[in-house]
Amino acid sequence: MATPSSLESLIEALRCLPGVGPKSAQRMAYHLMQHDRTGAERLSGALQLALDALRHCQRCNTLTEAEICDRCQSTRRDASLLCVVETPVDMNMMEQTHAYSGLYYVLMGRVSPLDGIGPRELHLDRLLARSCDGVVREVIIATNYTNEGEATAHYLSEMLKSRGVSVSRIARGVPVGGELEYVDAGTLAQALRERRPLAP
Amino acid sequence: MATPSSLESLIEALRCLPGVGPKSAQRMAYHLMQHDRTGAERLSGALQLALDALRHCQRCNTLTEAEICDRCQSTRRDASLLCVVETPVDMNMMEQTHAYSGLYYVLMGRVSPLDGIGPRELHLDRLLARSCDGVVREVIIATNYTNEGEATAHYLSEMLKSRGVSVSRIARGVPVGGELEYVDAGTLAQALRERRPLAP
């Protein structure tokens, strides 16, 4: 009487998606198999293609299909500014403000002791080397204004200032407790313009 | 500067999932590629497997891996009762009440003139043949208590009664405007027990 095993596996597999619980997964699986087999086919292929094609940029760490991403290779960006963000989505949000023309470093995470992610797990040595390469004049920390983002910013600023790097933080125009991903571009542009140097 | 094309395609492909808009799709794609490549791999495979394995049961129309599904083949079910539901999920909900031991017919839809789905598009000839096979004594209509579900129930009852088939409707214990999928098993069991014969 049970659900067919291939359907059961699909429901289970759909739960890897963030925010998808058992009910939604069931609904999605039946929807795909009843009403959108073409979409399911396309999704299966797109997942495989993305898995094969995507890797981390050797310079900024974001997801890309090349060794070095387009943005890092561009000669039209101001290489003396380096903006540190938590995720590629946050980087996209920064770009959408059209208020920043420097380069980026994507942490791919944040300091989060509860999840066992300390400064060591974030592999900050590459960020440090990059910040001290003589080209970068200012590192702008644009981690989230959450507890973890703040802890990350604090750790980064201490680390960079001890090496004599000039560090700033985007203004607290981002609502406290909020995440960059869900902020409108105007607010984020303001926060970028009002960035303040961190006290030594 | 754009998002890599394979990532763009994945975001687009994820939008085939019900309830997933551009923001969620983006979040899902980055989550999978950053944090859960194993899950993405499993999902891609599960989709392909389900697409290959699943088809419609020749008797009740639900999704199954065999010609005739386990439930229809069971000798322990009461073949004189036939319960008509809109979707396989609704059928699962009925099963979870443990208040029904008959068989099912899954419409895989509902009468919905606005979506261009009339009685013709639902291929009701097989349901009609099944209802008049001499084994079925009562057809229980368990479509949703939405406008479309009610219209479907009305059409089905007219069609079946004109052939002399005994028809009933689950009680209106299901909240008006609600959908079976989101009702608790107790309420649904009550609605099943209090089913009433439709006036001739």
Residue A190 in contact with partner chain B when CB distance is under 8 A: no
- What is the model's pTM? 0.72
CA–chain centroid gap for B141, Å, is: 13
DSSP secondary structure letter of residue A176? T
User: Among A37, A47, A90, A179, which would you mutate to test the B interface (most chain B Cβ atoms within 10 Å of its Cβ)?
Assistant: A47
Closest Cβ opposite residue B36 in set A16, A19, A74: A16
Q: Where does the pLDDT of residue B73 fall: very low under 50, low under 70, confident under 90, or very high at 90 and above?
A: very high
> Chain A residue closest to B26 (CA)?
A89
What's the pLDDT at A124? 86
Residue A112 in contact with partner chain B when CB distance is under 8 A: no
Residues in CB range of B98: below 8 A, 6 or more apart: B185, B189
Q: Where does the pLDDT of residue B39 fall: very low under 50, low under 70, confident under 90, or very high at 90 and above?
A: very high
pLDDT digits (tens, 9 = 90+) for A84-123: 999 888 888 888 888 888 999 999 888 888 888 887 778 7
What's the pLDDT at B54? 94
Distance to chain B for A155, nearest Cα, Å:
23
What's the pLDDT at A119? 79
Per-chain mean pLDDT for chain B:
87
- In this predicted structure, the answer to whether residue B188 has a pLDDT above a threshold of 80 is no
Which pair of tokens denotes residue A3?
A: 């659900």
What's the pLDDT at A150? 83
Which pair of tokens denotes residue B73?
A: 């083949």
Residues in CB range of A179: below 8 A, 6 or more apart: A144, A146
Give the residue-averaged pLDDT of A166-194. Answer: 73
- In this predicted structure, the answer to whether residue B187 has a pLDDT above a threshold of 90 is no
ipTM confidence: 0.70
Q: How far apart are CA A146 and CA A142, in angstroms?
A: 11
SS3 B127: helix
Residue A65 in contact with partner chain B when CB distance is under 8 A: yes
Which CATH architecture is the domain B78-169 placed in? Answer: 3-Layer(aba) Sandwich (3.40)
What's the pLDDT at B89? 86
What's the pLDDT at B84? 93
Q: In what order do the strands lie in the sheet with A166-169?
A: A102-106, A78-85, A138-141, A166-169, A196-197
User: Among B3, B8, B10, which would you mutate to test the A interface (most chain A Cβ atoms within 10 Å of its Cβ)?
Assistant: B10
**Cα–Cα nearest to B16, from A37, A21, A22:** A37
